[in-house]
Amino acid sequence: MMKRFYCTAGAGLEELLVEEVKHKLFATEPVCMLDQVEQISGRVFFCSNAHVNTMTQLKSAERLFLLLRKAAPISLPKNSAKAAVVIQQSIVGDANIWKQSLLMWKALQTELQDGQQHGQKRKREEDDSLNAVASSMHSLSSNTQLGKELNQHSITFRVSCRCSGVIARSYTSQRLSCIIGMAIKEKLRWKVDLKEPIIEVNVNVSDHHCIIGMPLLKHPLASRCYMKHNGLRSTIAWAMTFLCPKPLNDSVILDPMCGVGAVLLEAAQEYSNALFLGMDTDMSQLQKAAENVNAAGMEEKVQLLQSSAMEIPLTSGVVDAVLCDVPFGRKFSCSIDMPTALPHLLKEMERVLCVGGHLVLLLSLQLSAQLKKIICKHKPKKHANSIDTHCVHTDPSSTNNECKDISKTLMCHKSSSEISNTPMFITSLQAYRTHKVSLGSTDAFIHIFTKIQSEINTH
Ligand SMILES: C[S@@+](CC[C@H](N)C(=O)[O-])C[C@H]1O[C@@H](n2cnc3c(N)ncnc32)[C@H](O)[C@@H]1O
């Protein structure tokens, strides 16, 4: 029986997850399998024979599940007893599917355990989940020894149900979890354990579908083990690199407002042979970034400097890609008024980019609207690329101005007096793509530009 999986994804990332699944999981599988990737709001479904450890490398996914059932939406009578009958038939359904799925789930846990022994990545998620699995495996294997078949009666489970739409008007998710749990217990003779179950059964009931699955890992794929300090959501940070029009191998990549380094570290996971430069004005952010870089073992590849994005201490045209999560909202203290500073900020980023290089920006709706006005066909005045360098060092905890490695080669020493002459319009950035994503409480846009040769670049 073909194994079917699904991943949950943040709003706006489903399309990228489909691309990622096709790219990472289907490289060696028959073309017909590509048709079996299906996207709905918040979820991507696929069949795959790929090793489960490959699936745990999906960077745009939130969580990974083994799919038990994807069925049409159900409507429930208000009477609980009658509803239980409908749930028994429509959600639980055929007991054999559950037994087969349990065997598959167990086999996948073994694969994960083997992967761990071979020193696979994502240590934290796997370690924790495998600890849980180890105890579940213990009970599962002793069950197998007791009888040749898996003893269904010793399985413990918990139902986590989410309901929305019409059904949510009559039933809370908790009430529905309870009714579904009772139905599973009755049909499969599994035991309820709300604290430490062997199996977690996830049910999602909406006006559009009814989805039942078992998570394969305890921790979300989206929580990266190397992020000791969390910044931008890792899936979105990853998307900023993924959306670049061409691969960034052997490139110099700059995040001039790097915060704790989420964007740089996601890019660094993808491109092992690129060099990364992170800048921020806030030393405490840089300190956290340094800890994240150390945890990821990327000290050799990622350099951090205390510097302002308004005066990037680099020579013009030396960077292949600028990736930047520009601060908006109240979360980040910002010494500058971002809407006012945006034209100059953009000009600085454009200046350090080489022709053919890419600029990837994460912006709020308001800043996105302003961006449109700045990047247009207006003919700019000649711009002096002069900037000043001060307080630059590779170790954020150090106080000297010594520059090493990449930053030393790329740095320039010019006057900052001409910053106010920055033109309002930029003609050398060609729009490539804009992608809307959700940051939870608000939406944001990833804008991708390619720097082209224009009058301003030739001077
Ligand atoms: C939206 S946060 C970046 C978050 C980052 N992507 C992360 O994952 O942590 C913006 C960062 O810009 C920094 N910042 C604000 N003004 C700056 C400036 N003029 N130059 C450089 N960094 C600045 C803030 O200190 C903050 O860390």
Atom of ligand 1 nearest to the CA of 345: 19
- 331 C-alpha to center of ligand 1: Å? 10
- CB contact at 8 A, 166 and 207: yes
Report d(CA 448, CA 107) in Å as an integer: 42
Q: Which of 95, 89, 61, 62 is nearest to 76 (CA)?
A: 89
**pLDDT of 332 over the 60 cut:** no
Identify which has the larger pLDDT, 244 or 148: 244
Query: Domains along the chain?
Result: 4-215 (3.30.2130.30), 234-458 (3.40.50.150)
Q: Note the pLDDT tens digit of each residue in 383-425.
A: 433 333 322 233 444 433 333 455 555 665 443 434 444 446 8
Q: Confidence band (pLDDT; 50, 70, 90) for 63?
A: very high
**pLDDT of 135 over the 50 cut:** no
Atom of ligand 1 nearest to the CA of 262: 8
Q: Is 332 in the pocket of ligand 1 (CB under 6 A)?
A: yes
Q: Is 334 in the pocket of ligand 1 (CB under 6 A)?
A: yes
- CB contact at 8 A, 185 and 191: yes
Q: Is 310 in the pocket of ligand 1 (CB under 6 A)?
A: yes
- 447 C-alpha to center of ligand 1: Å? 17
- 416 C-alpha to center of ligand 1: Å? 21
- 356 C-alpha to center of ligand 1: Å? 25
Q: Note the pLDDT tens digit of each residue in 72-98.
A: 888 888 787 888 888 888 888 889 999
Q: Judging by DSSP bridges, how do beta strands 443-451 and 353-363 pair with one another?
A: antiparallel
Sheet of strand 63-71: strand arrangement? 38-40, 43-47, 4-8, 63-71, 210-215, 199-205, 156-163, 191-192
Tell me, what's the pLDDT at 128?
56
Q: Note the pLDDT tens digit of each residue in 193-218.
A: 999 999 999 999 999 999 999 999 98
- 8 C-alpha to center of ligand 1: Å? 28
Mean pLDDT of the chain: 83
Identify which has the larger pLDDT, 315 or 129: 315
Q: Is 364 in the pocket of ligand 1 (CB under 6 A)?
A: no
Cβ neighbours around 395 below 10 Å, total: 15
Q: Confidence band (pLDDT; 50, 70, 90) for 18?
A: very high
Cβ neighbours around 250 below 10 Å, total: 10
Q: Note the pLDDT tens digit of each residue in 270-307.
A: 999 999 999 999 999 999 999 999 999 999 999 999 99
**pLDDT of 34 over the 70 cut:** no
Q: Is 254 in the pocket of ligand 1 (CB under 6 A)?
A: no
- 328 C-alpha to center of ligand 1: Å? 10
